[in-house]
Amino acid sequence: MTHHSAHGKTVLTELSSLSRELRRAIPDVHKGFGALSQAAFADGTLEKKTKELIALAIGVVEGCDGCVASHAQSAVRAGATRQEAAEAIGVTFLMHGGPATVHGARAYDTFCEFADALDAGETPA
């Protein structure tokens, strides 16, 4: 097993306190976004795992570390494999070019960080 950084867990921890402050300032907006998120990720014709992989890929294209960490963790929890994550990230190379190769490598490392935790019997962060 390759050692992966703890970048994803660090990003989520850092954003947690920042998000809490903003959530207190705009509770109705945050509640609405939460409802939208639940609806978007609910199993339908596409299962949650596939939707999380799509969100992970969008996070790569946007260069959003928080999005990558959140959706990598959720994809692992939804049962996505390392290979599925790699292939979803691979599509970003086509759609976004060189920057995706940088953000994609970081995203794959983050995904593997959470997958390693699951393999070790831990809850992925």
CB atoms within 10 A of CB 74: 20
pLDDT at residue 1 is higher than 60:
no
Q: What is the pLDDT of residue 3?
A: 65
pLDDT at residue 65 is higher than 90:
yes
Record the pTM: 0.92
Domain 8-119 bears CATH identifier 3.40.50.300: no
Q: For 4-8, 41-45, 94-98, which range has the lowest pLDDT when averaged over its residues?
A: 4-8
pLDDT at residue 72 is higher than 90:
yes
Q: Which two tokens stand for residue 27?
A: 């509770």
pLDDT at residue 4 is higher than 90:
no
> Helices 98-119 and 7-25, interaxial angle, to 10°?
100
Helix ranges (H only) for 7-62 are 7-25, 27-41, 48-62
Map out the domains of the chain as residue ranges: 8-119
Mean pLDDT of 36-44: 97
SS3 104: helix
Name residue 29's amino acid: V
Mean pLDDT of the chain: 94
Q: Is 56 in contact with 72 (CB distance < 8 Å)?
A: yes
The string of pLDDT tens digits covering residues 76-89 is: 999 999 999 999 99
pLDDT at residue 125 is higher than 80:
no
